[in-house]
Amino acid sequence: MGKVAWVFPGQGSQRLGMGRDVVENMPGAKEFFATGSDILGYDLARLCWEGPEERLRQTKYTQPALLVVSSMLAHILRSHGLKPHAVAGHSLGEYSALVAAGSLPFAEAVALVARRGQLMQEAVPYGQGAMGVLLGLDYETTLKICAEAAQGEVVEPANLNSSQQVVISGTRSAVERAMALGRERGARRVLELAVSGPFHSSLMRPAAERFAGDLRKIQWVNPLVPLVANVTAGYVTGADDIPRLLTQQLYMPVRWEETVLRLVDGGVEHFVEIGPGKVLAGLIKRISPKVSVVTCGDMESLEKVLEMGKGDIVL
């Protein structure tokens, strides 16, 4: 039987109500929200379940909220005897992967991603940066479009999600020019993302420089299971590499397609997306149609994964 990878989504997968039915039905689940609230200084459960949604979409709130929900779900899977052969996360999801791999304690992760979200939100004044997605164009074409659209500003590939989906990031005007060029060059669809900043672009370097100090304070531990890093699409070889990789992750592209292919090349045949939404599941099926993908984001899908575990489909 093939190996299993747990993958964790990033910002954009949040939704009101996330985690509520799990907390109401699974013993110990509410402790994750309680710990998160104590560290953050506000009622995390109320924010996730009641909103307002506009606040939940703000980076500094979104990031710890998603980490708490994903870590809670992964913990429940482990407590029922399930475990992955490898892990990876998309952008913010890399922190949930590090918690799942035993490299970062949950409580420290909550504080760290709250700080990350705050610095990312402060890096560029609200409204001056943007991100957009070009569907149906490959990386090389997108790179040329960005070079042409920059005109002295910043617009760069940010998320290399699949061979036909590249997210771009930069100053708003440059991103808008690149999106217009994308339509002209035959993109199947062009869409601006509902985010509060130009993430994974060089505009995030000031935030990365400030965040590097926070990362160096953590006592990182070697991953207990293989973990593929966003910026290299290679396996993390040791704890000493993690602060550098996470610093670079703020201003370098997320190499998601290569990450999935690296896992598949390593024998992974089954993926479990742990967290709200199904964004990664859709991408993974397009990248590698032969693998199986299940989601684990609410009580119904959690129960299905646990049942599959009993049958040794997910180990």
pLDDT in tens, 82-101: 999 999 999 999 999 999 99
Q: What is the pLDDT of residue 315?
A: 46
User: Residue 191: phi, psi to the nearest 5?
Assistant: -145, 130
State yes or no: pLDDT of 312 exceeds 80.
no
Domain around 136: 129-195
Q: Domain check: are 81 and 210 in the same one?
A: yes
Question: Is the pLDDT reported for residue 314 higher than 60?
Answer: no
Q: How many domains does the structure of the chain reveal?
A: 2
Query: Is 86 found in the same domain as 106?
Result: yes
Tell me whether residue 286 is in a domain.
yes
Are residues 49 and 166 located together in one domain of the fold?
no
Residue 180 and residue 241 share a domain: no
In this predicted model, what pLDDT tens digit does every residue of 32-66 receive, in sequence order?
999 999 999 999 999 999 999 999 988 899 999 99
Mean of pLDDT over the chain = 95
The single residue of 91, 96, 162, 169 carrying the catalytic annotation is: 91
CATH number at residue 181: 3.30.70.250
80 catalytic? Reply is: no
User: Would you put residue 97 in left (φ > 0), alpha (ψ -120 to 50) or beta?
Assistant: alpha
> How confident is residue 15, by pLDDT bands cut at 50, 70 and 90?
very high
* Whether 57 and 176 share a structural domain: no
Between residues 313 and 302, the one the model is more confident about: 302
200 catalytic residue (yes or no): yes
Q: How far apart are CA 298 and CA 37, in angstroms?
A: 20
Q: SS3 of 314, please?
A: coil
**Do 224 and 281 sit in the same domain of this protein?**
yes
Q: Which of 145, 128, 124 is closest to 190 using CA atoms?
A: 145
User: 75, 85, 90, 200: which one is catalytic?
Assistant: 200
pLDDT interval class at 261 (50, 70, 90): very high
Shared domain check, 187 and 51: no
Q: Going by DSSP bridges, is the β-strand pair 129-135/292-296 parallel, antiparallel, or unpaired?
A: unpaired
Exposure string for 178-200, b = 16+ CB within 10 A, e = fewer: bbebbeeeebeebeebebbbbbb
Examine the fold and report which residue of 173, 195, 217 is the final residue of a domain before the chain moves on. Answer: 195
Domain contains 89: yes
Query: Which range, of 69-73, 196-200, 287-291, averages the lowest pLDDT?
Result: 196-200
What mean pLDDT comes out for the span 73-77?
A: 97
- Percent of all residues in the chain with a pLDDT value above 90, rounded to a whole number: 92
